[in-house]
Chains A and B, each alone.
Chain A
Amino acid sequence: MSATEMKRRDFFKTGAALGGGLLLSLYVPEWVLADSVHEATPLTPSIPPFAPNAFVRIGTDNIVTVIVNKSEMGQGVYTSLPMLVAEELEADWSKVRYEPAPVDAAYNHPVFGIQMTGGSTSTASEWERFRQAGATARVMLIGAAAKNWKVDSASLRAENGYVINPASGARASFGSLAEVAATMTPPKDVPLKDPKDFKLIGKPTRRLDTPDKVNGAAQFGLDIAIPGMMTVLVARAPVFGGKVLNFNADKAKAVPGVKNVVQIPSGVAVIAKGFWPAKQGRDKLEISWDDGPNAALSTTGMREQYATLAKTPGLVARKVGDPTKALAGATKTITAEYEMPYLAHAAMEPLNCVVDLRSDRCEIWTGTQFQTGDRAAAAAAAGLKPEQVTIHTPLLGGGFGRRANPASDFVIEAVQVAKAAKAPVKVVWTREDDTRGGWYRPMWSDRFTGGIDEKGNPVVWAHTIVGQSIIAGTPFEGFLIKDGIDGTSVEGAADLLYGIPNLQVDLHTPKIGVPVLWWRSVGHSHNGFAVEAFFDELAHAGGKDPYELRRTLLADQPRMRAVLELAAQKGDWGKRLPAGRGRGIATHFSFSSYVAQVAEVSVDKQGAVRVHRMVCAVDCGRVVNPDTVKAQMEGGINFGLTAALKSEITLDRGRVQQRNFHDYQMLRINEAPEIEVYIVPSTEKPTGVGEPSVPPVAPAVANAIFAASGKRIRKLPILKVDLRG
């Protein structure tokens, strides 16, 4: 278990033992704390008939609205969290609706203490609270019926949206009881169902948000329009950290529809009547930039620096046994270096933010994963108090971490624009702005030394990791960085599950002026590849079957061993394939979930790689909506394939060299493999689903390429590696 995972687990325990209030004071950063201490405010001015808690509202029309405190970015929270409420409420599922939560301390993440969506924690962290919210409401509705019917509430039960008196056969719909239920005192600690009685949880359930997503009705941030709103494009520095020296806006201002051009801290903003004039105006700006300290940055230079660092031991994240001594006694040693590039999140909906700033309040519409932080940051930028700032969270056209920025970059900038524009604004990022805007998955270099004994078994595993810290400089520093080691840099590496007696994982954290951020599966996105690809090398060096060796070394890891065996069996491990085809296998433990995958790949004489089939087994504890788990595994695999095969962000003279989908490529349907997903039944607590399928993809594919062609992939993306016959 990595430092990060351990901390998360500890906090789960501590949180449960101490309760939310105390938990906050343990680690929540100052800006968060300032915002979190105020009391929960009423949700809407018109109090609905029955709103027993912050998460449930029942109208006289029988509609049950579940207020969801997580941002919907494709992962299905607008369905899975309502399912938790509906299960305990005994609601009629056809009457259940969702509504995004406003920003309020009542909606804070029970573990992280701020309102946010991330870390594949939505189901795990709300598993108790949302069911409790439903159970409390049910008890109150039953209480209302008991009062109306003058019977003992113990003689009544709720079922499919009604309270029923089995003795008399009387039935009352939830809606008809709403007004009386609203007068009842909410009970505390209502016992939850025995899981064997679940009717909804665990059943494949269609998503509530799908109909709106197939007729154009779904509203994403970019679709928001408010009266008097101007559209704004910002010309940002071509080099990270650059500043405007001076600019001439005459030609830009001459574009019909351009209303104004103003300088803001991040660059020059063109304020116009729509996207097109704003774009035309921005293209006509003449700006001189001071490129600042990062003007000479290049990927080539960084690679050299990283490779040199990788040859020296860094800060030790984990040490087991005596690797140095054991290496001296090993029968065979192998060394390998791995490289992974910066990656942009490239959500389909480019970043955007709508701001209506007034003297005493500020209203914001933006697809954010980070409401509390963004509100505090917007308030500071606007010179207001956090409670004067309202954030509406529309649907997110993908997030993948980019919309959870502790620096709140796109929100602060939009508030600054609104201040200068003196009108409601929508700041729109073009695809080019989004691709070049930074906040990337860090670039990494990894160096391994492995030692094998006379029987071919791995006895030494030494892993040096080089890459920027995501957490350094953020309010999470105190929580996630310990003794100079960013837990997210070594997650999925320091917590290696394989039983190897001598192990060392160490870390170098160079400071580079490229802004970095979590990207779907965070540190696991890089360690998953490096660790599982090198494990394959070690297996072959010792003459072992990579699947059998994994099985043997997972003797103490029954859950991982089970998913490994399932993936191997379903993925036809060991069965013959035609020449030019190969299978690769990989496992990875992340976000407390266990995943194993088998990739089936062909490599032709021209070196073209095709991934034909991906078989995935997952153990993510108890499953709320199996179809969502399946969808997240499928999506994560295609997301992982894009990174494995195609994309990289590179820099030259401080400038990002990619712009749009022609040079920052995405997997397309003609390249998407057949995917099979198998879920291991479990009665353990739910764990992560959104991210854990990403890390094993690249190594499974790389290992399959080795099986197909004899060529080792130690560098991503694979498209850039020469695999010709």
Chain B
Amino acid sequence: MSGEHDAADRAHREAQAERLLAAWRTPTGWRYWSAVNNSEVGAWYTVAAFVFFLFAGVLALLVRVQLAVPSNDFLSADVYNQAFTLHGTVMMFLFAVPIFEAFSILILPQILASRDLPFPRLSAYGFWSFVIGGVFVCGSIFFGAAPDAGWFMYPPLTTDLEQSGIGTDIWLLGLSFIEVASIAAAIELIVGVLKCRPPGMRINFMPLYAWYVLVVGGMILFAFPPLIAGDLLFEMERAFDWPFFDPERGGDPLLWQHLFWIFGHPEVYIIFLPAIALVAMIVPTFAQRPIFGYSWVVLAAVGTGFLSFGLWVHHMYATGLPAISIGFFSAASEAVVIPTGVQIFVFIATLLTGRVIFSTPLLFIAGALAIFLIGGLTGVMVALAPFDWQAHDTYFVVAHLHYVLIGGMLFPIVAGFYYYFPLVTGKKLSDRLGRTAFWLMFSGFNIAFLPMHLTGLRGMPRRVFTYPEGLGWDTLNMVSTVGAFIFAAGILVVLLDVMRPKRRQPYAERNPWNAGTLEWLCEMPGKPWGVRSIPLVTSRYPLWEQANFVRDVDEGRFFLPDAEEGERETLVTSVLDAEGVQCLRVPGPTFLTMAAAVFTGGVFIFATYHWYAATAVSGVLALASIIAWLWTGTAVIPEKDEKHIGHGRTLPLYMSGPRSVGWWAMCITMIGDMTAFFSLVFTYFFFWTVNPSFPPEAAPGPGVLWPAVALAMLIGAWALTTMARRWNARDRVLSLRAGLALAIVLAAASMGALVFGVRGTGLDPTASSYGATVWVLILWLAAHVAVGSVMQAYCIARSMAGKLTGKWDIEIRNVSLYWHFLAFTAAATTAVIALFPLVD
């Protein structure tokens, strides 16, 4: 009897597994590239970021060859300047930040035992955008058209159209495009961590990697928008002569430095913290014990995130700022040592209290620690203004930043490669090659960069394409060049290890490192579904701490072991306690996201060449493909209200409002959007602070009348949108549609009043920084109103198609949330441009 029962049970489970596999199967043939599942997109993303890394590495070698001997003519000044600019740009924007997002897309769902991230198509869109933008930026050097003013692009060198050609536009627009993709990925990852954890994984059970993703995602949200706002100002000056950085018309070159470094300093931690996240996953495994001091690490990571926004001025000590502000920023910069030190000592304490197993990943971690420690100590030095005035912009800083980034990022990433490779491919990398690579990289790195400290102290500035002999720099530079090639050889060994055919190598055993976290539930080779069933988690290291855990997962004894309807499903849980709230159906493969990325890329690329007609066409196509993607893939009405997910639990299939992932994504997006808006407001008050005649006496407009009229109408449109949401809840279909239509008309009238009214006052954006700043705020508002109107029109269409009703109301709830932020933007804009000149 029991034997029969077992057989039936087994057959039942096999049928379940087959259905699950069918739902999650990766498309084959040319359709493979339509995949959106995190395991494919994450792998492509990682490979692409690594390819960009190799490209930038080759540029670095060219730079080192040029500097090997004094008065060298291997590269011309022009090519050298492009090479070092592109090296920095690509390493920062196309490798260091994206590799974190790529890696996280790849492994975060596994770490959370989730089947996928909440918006797989958004990841795919971000990936294709990244590749297109990256190829565009990198390719420029083959046409001699690469940016050539250093990766921080200081104006006025870069706003001078004769000295900085198309390369600067490629930098501004190409990278803005990539930054948008980065923010998209950050939103996806934040929502993933907050809402897609397995049931029972309360926030204090979260694996440390997830904590770091949360912190870094938040930082991206607040750090990238100022740069995007800066890029906007920059491109307006280059393309339309709006004088934000031109001192002769009331602009200020330092404004860019502030906006750039408000981004640029957190950027360093955005790069560094994810690498520490890898360390926080790897160290406990090889110490064979839980992390020692979980709360300390979490507090330190959050603290680092906060502090990193208060340090940007330490990149600007030499600009002649007042001593009092320099003192403040010196102290703040030193303070970041404390949370960083806490994290390092937590890892040391974990090793101390555990039984350490030596391995290749741990070797790379040890190397990372050694290198980063030196980078951190020189960081303490350059944070002190009196010392920084010597070291700033010299090879000392070049050495410092490479110690920080290579120790704090590259070595942990390689450790992560060796650690997680079996998770992705089912096979281990070679220990022998790994050790060879380590010693080449470690020794090569120190031979290359340790002497640079001295080169810098002896007065060699960075970014020089050549130097005269006899200044004490010759031997040091030769040594650095030799070291760089040894380092490169180490990278090459890693590459060989990854690329070598492994067909005959057996699959690794399951959980090869005997780790305790959920990603190691993965079978070797992995299955596209991720986990056989989504477990109930009651501890931080379930594989170590929960009895029969792997068996129960494999036998489908936890949640969602089946895909009865052939849909891709994953669980959405509550933010703090991870109680199940929804069974989320995620969309499957599509080429729409690729098309949307291609056309969005077209907008940026055509705009670079001032082909505005093509830009407009591409924009329309991008909008069309995004709408098609939303229409077919989001807010799909399920065939039933709820479903059993196992263990006698039932969860709804459709969810809107604050408990849904879409609402969270909108809210988080708008927080990022607000940050960009505040950067523009900052611009206004920055000018007001530094410039005694801002607003200039003679400036006409914008006046109070037209901005006030516009605001009144826009508030009307917002009120109608809010009402429309309520009408919809009561299924008053006609009111909903009429209300939204009226809102669109009002919004258009409002923007008409604002633009034509202010134009009528004669306020000229090219005449002064004042006009330019007021107009850029208006432009920002108008663009947001346009997007808001498209959303309203989309809701009307969804309602008419019967896809938006009182019960199925995701669209209108998210759109009305957008309009809350929009109403705030409008009110704040009006207060700044119309009312502030009155009180001043």
A binds B: no
